[in-house]
Amino acid sequence: MRNDLVQIAYTLTFTTPFHCGTGLRVGLIDRTIVRDANDYLYVPGSTIKGVVREHCEHLAYLYEDASDGMRELIASPHDEKVALWTLTRPPTMITRIFGSHHSPGLLFFDDARQDEDTQKLYESREKDSTENYKNLQIDLSTQVRLDRLTSTAALGALYTSEFGVRDMTFQGTISGWLRCLPIEDLADGPTYSLLLLLAGLRMIERLGGNKSTGKGRCVCDVTEVKINGQPVEKWHDWLEHLEALSLYSTAYELYQEE
């Protein structure tokens, strides 16, 4: 069993407008988007974590053997019945990455933010000027909800939303401790959980609200992977061996017998 210090850096580039909402209304804007203390847009780490978890669950469900009962343990973290059942069951790759009701995860998903050079583009070129161009990060869209029975505009359902503009890029990190079994078939390779995490991260293609209307499309590029402080150059090659994830349950049983 390995207990690795994992550091992953990545970029998110949105190819369409996106909405990471605050749930708050401000003035005539019914749906505002998240900003930091300096009014720069960012993507919350909790949003990224939720989407990555969903992709990891799909992959784990695909590769886990249905006969050993592990698939039943791959479920929403809010499923209390499954949470109680896992008290007497072996940890899954999902719980090793994201934690569970009774075993917290040790990986931290940082907020994805714009770099300093990009932020400077929204500042005034004139000295001592208080003017800025941060409003260029945002587009407004006014929509109306349709009544499904009559296909007409619903009464009182006109609302205005903020969207981040397309082609914005954010940098984020995932760091912390990840305890799992190494994949023996991959020389100098990852643990099962790290391979699953990298695959789930690369699968991100939409983030935020209004995804059904084409919003939030993005590309996630992993720019650096470090294990115990050492950069890993050939992590891309690991993704060609996702079938190794199907051996996790067997490897764990063998580990328990040793």
Q: Domain residues of the chain, as ranges?
A: 2-22+34-122+167-257
Q: In the block, which residue shows the tokens 């970029």?
A: 11
pLDDT for 1: 82
Pairing between β-strand 107-109 and β-strand 169-180 as defined by DSSP bridges: antiparallel
- The two three-digit tokens of residue 5, written as one number: 């210090």
Confidence at residue 127, expressed as pLDDT on a 0 to 100 scale: 58
Phi and psi at residue 173, to the nearest 5°: -140, 150
Q: What's the alpha-carbon Rg for the chain, to the nearest Å? A: 22
* Confidence (pLDDT) at 23: 86
Closest CA to 198 of 241, 229, 168: 241
**pLDDT given for residue 213 in this prediction:** 84
Mean pLDDT of successive 10-residue stretches along the chain, which has 258 residues: 93 95 87 92 95 92 63 56 60 86 85 92 66 86 79 78 94 95 83 94 92 90 94 90 88 74
Q: Which residue has the tokens 């580039």?
A: 13
Which residues, in sequence order, are CB contacts of 232 under 8 Å at separation 6+? 225, 226
Cβ proximity of 72 and 202 under 8 Å: no
Q: Give phi and psi for 27, each to the nearest 5.
A: 60, -125
Q: Are 177 and 106 in contact (CB under 8 A)?
A: yes
Residue with tokens 């995804």: 211
User: What is the reported pLDDT for 78?
Assistant: 58
pLDDT of residue 67: 45
pTM for this predicted structure: 0.85
Query: Are residues 184 and 243 in contact, defined by beta-carbon separation less than 8 angstroms?
Result: no
* Count, residues in the chain: 258
114 burial type by CB count under 10 A (0-12 exposed, 13-18 middle, 19+ buried): buried
Tokens of 157: 């359902």
- Residue 169 CA to residue 171 CA, distance in Å, equals 7
Closest CA to 6 of 230, 252, 255, 243: 230
